[in-house]
Structures are given as C-alpha cells and as structure tokens.
Structure 1
C-alpha cells in the first residue's frame, strides 16, 4: 500500500511528515506521543512545555486513555495530567488530534458511551478525533461492537476508529460487516511493532488486511518499555510480553547498539525509523520523559531518509518472535506459531 506524505510547517519550523491512517483514514503525523506512563513522568510545567513543543514540530497526535479496566485497573491519572498539560500550553482543541481508547474488558457492561463520557471528561474535551477499540481475549460479538462504535460516530464523539489486540480474523470480519451495513469501518490497527516483535504486523493474515482492505498500521511499544532504547531494567510497568521473549530482547541490546552506531544513530532512533519502513505504517507512538529525549527521537526521520532501504536488512537478525507468536493471533495472547 502507498500513502501520500506531506510536510507542513508550524511557527517557522519544519514539521514531521504526515501520512494517511489507512487508505481512507485521517491524515496524521508519523510520530505520536502515547499517554501510558508518559505525562506522570514529569512536572505539570514540563508536560505543558513538551506538549507545546510537540505541536510546534507537527507531532500533534496524542494517544490518551483512561487506564482503569482489566489489567489496567490501576486508576492512573495520566489522562488527567495530559488535559492539564494541554491547558497549560494554551492549546485549543483544534491544535491537536486526540486518539482515545474504548476497552472491551468490561464491555458491554461498561458501554462505549459511558466510557467516552468518563474518558473525555477526564481530559477536558467533548470529543476525540479517532479511537482504538482494544484488548479482548476470547470470543467477540463483532457485529455488536461495530454497531456500537458506529453509534458513537453518528453522535459526533469521533470520526474514525481502529483496533488493538484483535486477531486478523476478527478485524477482517469487522471491516466486512461495517462496509456491508454502511457503517464506518475500522481504518487502522494499533499493533505492537518493534525490532524484535514483527510476527503479527508482518504476517500474512494482517498483510492481507493492509493490502486488500486498505488498513493502516499504527505502531506501539517500539521501545519495549525502554529496553530497546537502552533502559534495560525499566522500573515502571510496561506492556505484555507475548511469546515470553523479553529476556531475549534485553540480551539483544548490545547488537541493537552496534547497528545503531553503525548508522550514526541512537538505538531509539533506529527503533523508530524501522517501524516506519513497514509498507502500511502511518504512525508510531512513543513516550518521552522530556524535551531533550523528544527532540533526539525526531532524529529517526533523518536516519530513515538516509538509510531507509538498508535498515530492514541490517536488523533482520533481531526478529525475536518469529515462529513464537502466531501471525494471525490476538496480540494479547502468547499463541505459538503453527
């Protein structure tokens, strides 16, 4: 799939490129800032400064969620802190794109309408731009989910949506049902995608959806909680470990460092640039603890421009979940490959 890519300018500074979030999805910057354990890693003033700088550089996509469901039932306040940062930065709602989340852990008991009421109020807005419907393990009533999402689209709560931690079969079924019923279909999949974890985004089941349904890829967990960026023993909670390969990822870091240095880049820049070489990649989400780290990460774009065609070959040996995680499985499972 090919995506048109444009470059805009903000306050005299060249902004990051933008791509379509799927063939029929909204245009987004290739970088977005995630919310889990991001805004609670700095002071309110520092967060406001980071948000303002990100928007000025064209990174105006923010993935923000209310983390209080299922394994995320931790009553995190990172979404509230994000709202405070936006207000502290003096931004209007038109200045940024908000990607929210709808959780399936307690669905349908916790309806999508109720979830949005709470999550949007915590940020301090009345709408998202798009949402990710995610995290389900087991049977899913796909028509019911698609219908409920469409109801929120009609209500003006958001205009586009995608999924995470869905099997390729369920996502394909959702897309077909939505199109057949004249509802808004999913336009992207938010998937774990990194130097080490590639089986799902690069597998044939999802590949067909990218190519035939025009779905886009939004990459997450590109740093494996910081491990692939050099923080080998992160103290904060990080994402799930499908396939049980995290220790192997930690052991692979010296190789990551050598490859990055060979390109004159940092490991973090290598990790980000790699994700954007995927044919369906629209954006990659990452966290940052401050301005210096954020600006350094943007150097991934120069690395991609200079060495894009070489990167995939250079990191081929770092694919650690090959033959460990089934390419069509829900990303929340540890299903082995057949």
Structure 2
C-alpha cells in the first residue's frame, strides 16, 4: 500500500494518560529500534500520516546503555526524520527513556541532555523510567525525576515493568512529598501476556485511578502477527512462556480471521478493550503496517470490548506467572481488567 492508494479515514481517538497526564492518542508509535528498520522516505511518509490522523505520539529511546549497548542510532534517525518531514516540535509528542542500569553513576540530568541532543529537541513531553538489574533507591529516583521536570526537560513520567512494590512506593512517596508521581505504567501486555497488567496488584492501581496502562510488546516481537521465529532482538521472555506464545499463533490467526480482522488489528484492539489502557505502544516498519493498525479502531467499534475480551480469553498463556511484578510462579491468578 502507498499513500496514493485508498487510505483509512479513521481518526485516532484520545484517552487520558493517567491522573496527572494529558489527553494523548491511543496509538503510541515507536518501540525498540523502530526508526532504523525502514527507509527515510518511508519514515517521513509514516510520521506525516500519523500526525494527519491524530496519532502524533512517538516513543523514542537512546538504547546505548546496559544490556542494550549496541551503538543504536534509532533516536538520531527519528530526529532527522521529523525535520525532513517538516514537522514543528508543537506538532507531536515525544516520550523518551530514562534507564536505571547505570543509575546513579549516570545521572538523569546527563542522560536527558544527551538523549535530547541526539534527537535534536529541547525537551520531551513524557519519559519512561526503565527497569533495572540492581536494587535502586526509589525515593531518590522520584526526587531526581522531579529535578528533571523542574529543569523543563519533560512534564510527565511513567514506569516500565517495575515490580508492584516499587510502583506503589513511588506513588506514595510522591504524594507525601508533594512531588510529581508517575502517571502511567508501560507494561508487557498482549493477547498472550496479561498477568502483570490484569493481575490483582497493578490491576488494583489501575482500578483506583492511580495509574494508567501503556501496553507494550503487544505483538511479542512479531510472534503474534505470524513471525514465529523473529530474527531481530526482542524483549525479555518473562516467566519463560515464549514457546507457549509461539504455539498460540494459529489460534490468534484463526480468531482474527473469524472477526474479519488481521492479527495486528486484533492485538491492538484487545489492548484497547481494557479500560485501564490509555494507549498502545507498537512498532511498524512500513506504511502499510500503520494503515493496517488503524483498522483496530474499526474492529473495536464493530465487535465491542466485551466480545473481544471473551473471544480472546483462552489465549492468555502466562496465568501461572505472578502478577505482582516479582514474576515468581504461582497459581490462581485472578483478572481485574478483562
């Protein structure tokens, strides 16, 4: 499909990204190494199209740290793309990354200055404070995030796959000290992985309105859209359930067909059917893939959230993974949302 062919007329709706956030599109475009998986012409066309349909929310990370230290240029390429597309900074939202792998040796201030310089912008709108390998002082993290907000380098922040206890500590400490709390949690969430997002722990925070959900890894690195042996690096296999997810692919394909949808549309619509979901973070590498994703909005309207949740119930493969963020095997996971 090209921009000259018939395009979806869908307008991407908005939802509030948490109690202290803002209205944002339900699509968040980006994820790991998105911008170095397509040509510049494709990228320019893609970002213009995303802005035109009301989805100008871009997740952009500097991945050159810790386990991802690989000389990635995806954030630099994103900045070059936006400038070539002729888009002004006011035309789009940027959600950056703050990693904890070398924190506090690498300060948030140093990391943000370098990250913004690589993109070529003065400030982000949101940041996600990433996961960590070693214990960190969560109270100090909240204080250092506040210092970056005060410095004008971003306005709001979220957390990425934190254990529940750390999320609760960050929320409670921010409230007690009058600081800016995290407003959303970026969690692995898909047709197959649901325990952390739907379980009784994070699910409780979502139900209480203390956080919103940003769904990520929604295609399991492409497995849930038919790429059952991904060649590129993908996210961690939390709970060791990836082979079960691979085995579920034929059922995902068949369910999508029964709903007159593509697997990608089914995966996005399923996440949006959860009322806790503020937006869905996914990566594309072609214009056609983005156009296909727009069809998820029609699918959700046509089928409805309840029917989607019911139809996909048997695809949940990590039920035996503890939903509190510790990822210890357990039994009897109860779903709060979905």
TM over 0.5: yes
Note the C-alpha offset of 1:337.
2.6
Aligned residues of 2:188 and 2:215 also touching (Cα < 8 A): yes
Which of 105, 108, 128 is 2:124 aligned to?
128
Give how far 1:260 is off. 0.5
Corresponding residue for residue 328 of structure 2: 335
**Hey, what's the Cα distance between the residues in 1 that align with 2:266 and 2:94?**
26
Aligned residues: 323
Q: What are the residue-to-residue correspondences of 1:159-170 with 2, within 5 Å? A: 159-170=155-166
Tell me the CA shift for residue 179 of structure 1.
1.0
Of 65, 80, 86, the residue aligned with 2:76 is 80
Report the Cα distance in structure 2 between the residues aligned to 1:50 and 1:15, rounded to whole angstroms: 15
User: Once superposed, which parts of structure 1, at least 4 consecutive aligned residues long, lie more than 3 Å away?
Assistant: none
Q: Quote the residue 1:236 is aligned against.
A: 232
Deviation of 1:99 (Å): 0.2
**Partner SS, residue 298 of structure 1:** helix
SS of 1:40 mapped into structure 2 = coil
1:50-109 Cα deviation digits (max 9, x unpaired): 111111111100000000122111121100110111011100000000000100000000
Higher strand share: 1
1:36 equivalent to 2:32? Answer yes
Q: Give unmatched runs, 5+ long, in structure 1.
A: 1-11
Once residues 336 and 108 of structure 1 are traced to their aligned partners in structure 2, the CA distance between those partners, rounded to angstroms, is 31
CA contact (8 A) 1:51 1:89 kept: yes
- Give 5+ residue unaligned stretches, structure 2: 1-7, 332-338
* 2:295 corresponding residue in structure 1: 299
Is 1:140 aligned to 2:133, yes or no? no
Give the aligned partner of residue 322 of structure 1: 319
Partner of 1:312: 309
Q: Which segment drifts farther, 264-273 or 35-44?
A: 35-44
What is the rounded CA distance, in whole Å, between the counterparts of 1:316 and 1:212 in structure 2? 24
Paired position in structure 1 for 2:201: 205
Give the deviation of 1:213 after TM superposition.
4.6
Q: Following TM superposition, by how much is the alpha carbon of 1:48 offset from its aligned partner in structure 2, in angstroms?
A: 1.0
Aligned residue for 1:219, secondary structure, equals strand
Distance, in Å, in 1 between the alignment partners of 2:292 and 2:253 is 16
Residue 3 of structure 2 corresponds to none
Secondary structure of the 1:150 match is: helix
Q: Equivalents in 1 of 2:62, 2:161: separation in Å?
A: 17
Q: Alpha carbon RMSD of aligned pairs, Å?
A: 1.4
Q: TM-score, normalised by structure 2?
A: 0.93
